[in-house]
């Protein structure tokens, strides 16, 4: 790397259209946040990386991204966030790349191709894809004004590359643009388009997040998806004061079960299924029946710790299902609550909770205890 290349990543948006309860850049995609993926993809070409974070999230971004990345406070608009970061670009920078956090899967190769064009003398370079749909220009009343020639249209992406002085001059005005090339064009600078790539798609809606997931899946081999199974069973306690903990909920009017920890068979079966899917042993080998640290742990705490371990091993959870087997309690009336509790302990993944009896047969049918069987599907996190 000869010349100094600064990379600005505007990540100051809230991601309203995605609808998560955290800023979009922090949303997980197969076990890693969008901003981490974005930084990892572009770091090989960068001498300096500046990330504009949403106000109030700066520390969280710093912890996540480490000391190599400079985190600044983003502004009220994308342009304002870019401007805020631009003020911290190293004085020796020759080129600046601006790259949306929302385009987390853009390849390093794309950034390299942008830089190549800058090196060959272009002052503004942006990736773009030919549009497949016919595009109409419309008026405010919803009538078509014109049909531009599709062959002359491009859907543009990031990273967009600029001579640092060109970008600085373009951002001197407070005009709002949806991309930086827009600001540069307004200065009369010629902007060169190069071939973009499908994987640099912008994550805007939940459907986009699904598409991004599919890209990662397509990248990995067949072992990316792994299924696991787990079961657990406990006898009802003779102690009438023992409270029942099941499926992440307390059942105050039900006598509980004997057992290590709170005896939540549904939560324990899910932990086992997750460890099984990730090839990380089982509940016992992870939490040890004799380990005092977990003696009083609730099923939800164990689930959360399981999530941490499975994630640390490079997996993300696709979904889990658990079936509770027993005469009581009736699960149906609290199914929604149970799903919410279990799902929340697992970072919001889809959970299904079903229940059955066994026609009077076996220890569950005889009303002596409860058991649960769970399955889990995990995804080995992509590159």
Partner that binds at residue 11, options ligand CTP, Mg ion, none, CB closer than 5 to 8 Å by kind: ligand CTP
Of residues 200-219, those binding ligand CTP (CB under 6 A): 202, 204
Asked if residue 101 binds ligand CTP (CB under 6 A), the reply is: yes
Of residues 12-31, those binding Mg ion (CB under 5 A): 13
Which of 37, 78, 171, 380 touches ligand CTP by CB under 6 A? Answer: 78
Chain center to CA of 44: 22
By beta carbon distance, the residue nearest Mg ion is 13
Which of 5, 7, 8, 11 touches ligand CTP by CB under 6 A? Answer: 11
Contact range with ligand CTP by CB under 6 A, out of 59-67, 77-85, 311-319, 352-360: 77-85
Tokens of 377: 């599907």
Which of 31, 39, 71, 75 touches ligand CTP by CB under 6 A? Answer: 75
Determine the angle formed by the axes of helices 34-42 and 58-65, rounding to 10 degrees: 50
Q: If binding means CB under 5 A, how many residues of this protein chain bind Mg ion?
A: 1
Place of tokens 């100094």: 4
CA neighbours within 13 Å on the CB side: how many for 313? 19
Q: How far is the CB of 75 from ligand CTP (least distance, A)?
A: 6
Of residues 28-57, those binding ligand CTP (CB under 6 A): 52
Given a contact cutoff of 8 angstroms between Cβ atoms, the answer to whether 248 and 338 are in contact is yes
Going by C-beta distance under 8 Å and a sequence separation of 6 or more, which residues neighbour residue 82?
A: 8, 10, 52, 98, 171, 180
Handedness of CA 372, 333, 343, 318 (dihedral sign): positive
DSSP-derived 3-state class of residue 308:
helix
Identify which of residues 15 and 248 has a Cβ nearer to Mg ion in the complex: 15
Q: How far is the CB of 310 from ligand CTP (least distance, A)?
A: 28
Asked if residue 76 binds ligand CTP (CB under 6 A), the reply is: yes
Q: What is the largest CA-CA distance in the chain?
A: 83
Distance of alpha carbon 136 from alpha carbon 138, whole angstroms: 6
Contact range with ligand CTP by CB under 6 A, out of 5-13, 63-71, 241-249, 307-315: 5-13
Given a contact cutoff of 8 angstroms between Cβ atoms, the answer to whether 129 and 200 are in contact is no
Which of 6, 25, 42, 212 touches ligand CTP by CB under 6 A? Answer: 25
Distance of alpha carbon 336 from alpha carbon 79, whole angstroms: 42
Chain center to CA of 348: 11
Identify which of residues 204 and 254 has a Cβ nearer to ligand CTP in the complex: 204
Q: Which residues bind ligand CTP (CB under 6 A)?
A: 10-18, 24-25, 52, 74-78, 81, 100-102, 202, 204
Q: Which residues bind Mg ion (CB under 5 A)?
A: 13
């Amino acid at each position: 790397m000869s010349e100094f290349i600064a990379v600005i990543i505007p990540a100051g948006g809230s991601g309203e259209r995605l609808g998560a309860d955290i800023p979009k850049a922090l949303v997980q995609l197969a076990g890693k946040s969008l901003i981490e993926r974005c930084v990892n993809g572009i770091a090989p070409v960068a001498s300096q990386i500046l990330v504009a974070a949403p106000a109030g999230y700066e520390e969280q971004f710093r912890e996540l991204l480490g000391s190599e990345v400079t985190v600044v406070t983003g502004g009220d608009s994308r342009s304002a966030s870019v401007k805020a970061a631009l003020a911290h670009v190293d004085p020796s920078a020759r080129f600046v790349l601006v790259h949306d956090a929302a385009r987390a899967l853009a390849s390093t190769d794309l950034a390299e191709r942008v830089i190549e064009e800058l090196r060959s003398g272009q002052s503004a370079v942006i990736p773009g894809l030919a549009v497949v749909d016919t595009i109409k220009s419309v008026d405010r009343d919803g009538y078509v004004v014109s049909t531009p020639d599709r062959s002359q249209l491009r859907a543009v992406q990031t990273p967009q590359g600029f001579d640092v002085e060109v970008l600085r001059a373009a951002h001197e005005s407070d005009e709002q643009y949806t991309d930086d090339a827009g600001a540069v064009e307004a200065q009369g600078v010629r902007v060169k388009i190069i071939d973009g790539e499908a994987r640099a798609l912008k994550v805007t809606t939940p459907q986009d997040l699904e598409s991004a997931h599919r890209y990662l899946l397509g990248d990995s081999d067949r072992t990316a998806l792994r299924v696991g199974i787990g079961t657990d069973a406990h006898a009802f306690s003779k102690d009438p004061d023992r409270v029942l903990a099941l499926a992440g909920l307390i059942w105050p009017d039900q006598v509980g079960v004997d057992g290590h920890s709170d005896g939540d068979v549904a939560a324990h079966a899910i932990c086992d299924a997750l460890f099984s899917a990730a090839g990380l042993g089982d509940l016992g080998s992870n939490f040890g029946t004799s380990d005092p640290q977990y003696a009083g742990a609730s099923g939800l705490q164990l689930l959360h710790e399981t999530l941490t371990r499975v994630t640390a091993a490079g997996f993300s959870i696709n979904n889990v299902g658990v079936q509770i087997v027993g005469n009581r309690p009736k699960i149906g009336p609290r199914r929604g609550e149970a799903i919410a509790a279990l799902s929340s302990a697992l970072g919001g993944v889809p959970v299904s909770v079903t229940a059955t009896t066994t026609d009077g047969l076996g220890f569950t049918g005889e009303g002596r205890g409860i058991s649960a069987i769970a399955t889990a599907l995990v995804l080995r996190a992509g590159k």
